[in-house]
Structure 1
Amino acid sequence: MSKRILFILTSHDRKGAADDASAAPSGFYLSEVSHPYFVFSEAGFAVDFASPKGGKTQADGLDLSDARNAKFWNTPELRAKTETTLSPAQINPADYAAIFYAGGHATMWDFADDPALADIAARIYQQGGVVAAVCHGPAGLVNIRLDNGRYLVDGKDVAAFTNDEERAVGLHDTVPFLLADKLIERGARHLPAANFQKQVVVSERLVTGQNPASAQGVAEAVLGLLQD
């Protein structure tokens, strides 16, 4: 089995359309990268970083009072990985044991409509790998189709940022779609926990988490599948 994990970060940089100059800044949510990264790296897995456009990405949630955030952000070679991400064209799915979609509100504007990334995820899953996502990262799951024509999430249990959480942060009228609703539309069974509480769901080789509090748990569940 490969000892490499592919992290997907958003290329988008705001909570709104690319041409909306009034939109608040966003990007990948740092703790949804830092916490999983160290789970995998400490278990001996190498992590590569990619994004829809490749190249530089933008961080959100820069809480450096969080020890793992600070360790990641203050390690030059790790921060550099988020500034030099791979593009989909540079990725060979056969190299990876798992793909992990990190969250951040910005993912809602570029993860769902990226057929190249969806194909990479489908190939990793169909070769026996794990697909994982946390918070808004499951936006990357909504259009993944398997070779049998079915959506990856169809018939599977999932967690993702909930409609109630979206309302609680005041962005339910800003995001282009409500993530939980879209997953249900694709045939998933959405299993919500209370707002901002940890919720990790494993369904076959699909691992999802509801919010930032779930990020480390998602990585630990992925690791459990890979080491089983």
Structure 2
Amino acid sequence: MTAKLPKKALIAITSHSAPFYPDGGVNGAFYTEILHPYVALTDAGIEVDLASETGSFVIDPYSLSEQFISGGDVDIVKDESHPLNKALKGGVKKASSVNAKDYGMFFASAGFASVYDYPSATALQSVAADVWARGGVVAAVCHGGAIFPGVKDASTGKSIIEGKEVTGFSTEADGLAGVLDKIHADGVLTTEESAVSAGGIYKAPPEPFGDFAVTSGRVVTGANPFSAHSTATAAIQAFESL
């Protein structure tokens, strides 16, 4: 690892929340897509900060259902003393207030809400671009890849994923989840569509909801909530190999 990179990561969190699901429920940040990277990174000795574009966030209630919370995560969700829960309660920064040079890694967590605010989250994009320009690792899981069209390589003026293989929540999976029509009705791109628009080479997971991550040099991406840990592990490997 290059000595110039701080052993510190910024986990980005979506700040969007609005009625979204067919039953009228709101979307927001997916809990395990923050938790699993947080645990993997801190276990690897990497310090972690949390930030959203506005400094605020809402946890998507759907992400706390039994479909996504199992095993040891059940106890963590209930444990107010867990470091992540303490950070979420009082330590989520406003992206424009952080010093990008403090970080050697940028990790975009997600939730369906991400496709609504990440494309215009210029402060988060700026942090990611700065990490990239200094030779760091930029990663995203699930819908977090919606941030990539706005993360530019200063040397080319184009997205850092142009010409690179990436994955993310597929348009097929949005359809299977019953939210594709809502996303398109709102004039928003799916994660797969945004990757293609940025010049990325999109790779769908073999199974829409199977664990799947892709490493393309210093860009690391994961396909869905069940890929959050493996994506973080791959990002750590990419970081340690620098």
The verdict on how the C-alpha distance between 1:73 and 1:4 changes in structure 2, with shifts beyond 3 A counting, is: farther
Amino acid at match of 1:121: A
80-89 or 30-39: which moved more? 80-89
The verdict on how the C-alpha distance between 1:56 and 1:183 changes in structure 2, with shifts beyond 3 A counting, is: closer
Structure 1 residue 65 displacement after superposition? 3.3
* Equivalent position of 1:36 in the other structure: 37
| 1:4 and 2:8 matched | yes
Q: Which ranges of 4 or more aligned residues in structure 1 deviate by more than 6 Å? A: none
Verify the 8 A CA contact 1:34 1:72 in the aligned structure 2. no
Identity between Structure 1 and Structure 2 (%):
28
- 1:79-90 alignment, distance < 5 Å: 79-84=85-90, 85-90=92-97
Structure 1 residue 171 displacement after superposition? 0.7
Distance (whole Å) between structure 1 residues aligned to residue 24 and residue 146 of structure 2: 19
Unmatched 5+ residue regions in structure 1? none
Structure 1 residue 9 displacement after superposition? 0.6
Distance (whole Å) between structure 2 residues aligned to residue 146 and residue 69 of structure 1: 40
The verdict on how the C-alpha distance between 1:116 and 1:179 changes in structure 2, with shifts beyond 3 A counting, is: same
Aligned residues: CA RMSD: 1.9
Amino acid at match of 2:228: A
The verdict on how the C-alpha distance between 1:66 and 1:28 changes in structure 2, with shifts beyond 3 A counting, is: farther
| 1:102 and 2:109 matched | yes
Deviations 1:197-228 (A, max 9, x none): 11100111000000011110110001111222
Structure 1 residue 58 displacement after superposition? 2.5
TM-score (norm 1): 0.91
- 1:1-228 alignment, distance < 5 Å: 1-16=5-20, 23-60=24-61, 61-63=63-65, 64-68=69-73, 70-71=75-76, 74-76=79-81, 77-84=83-90, 85-147=92-154, 148-175=156-183, 176-193=188-205, 194-228=207-241
The verdict on how the C-alpha distance between 1:170 and 1:101 changes in structure 2, with shifts beyond 3 A counting, is: same
Amino acid at match of 2:189: F
TM-score (norm 2): 0.86
Unmatched 5+ residue regions in structure 2? none
The verdict on how the C-alpha distance between 1:126 and 1:218 changes in structure 2, with shifts beyond 3 A counting, is: same
Q: What is the number of equivalent residue pairs in this alignment?
A: 224
Distance (whole Å) between structure 1 residues aligned to residue 30 and residue 78 of structure 2: 12
Distance (whole Å) between structure 1 residues aligned to residue 6 and residue 74 of structure 2: 26
Verify the 8 A CA contact 1:8 1:100 in the aligned structure 2. yes
Distance (whole Å) between structure 2 residues aligned to residue 15 and residue 199 of structure 1: 29
Amino acid at match of 2:194: K
Amino acid at match of 2:164: K
Deviations 1:19-75 (A, max 9, x none): x9x842121111111111111111111110000100354244114433135325514
Verify the 8 A CA contact 1:56 1:83 in the aligned structure 2. no
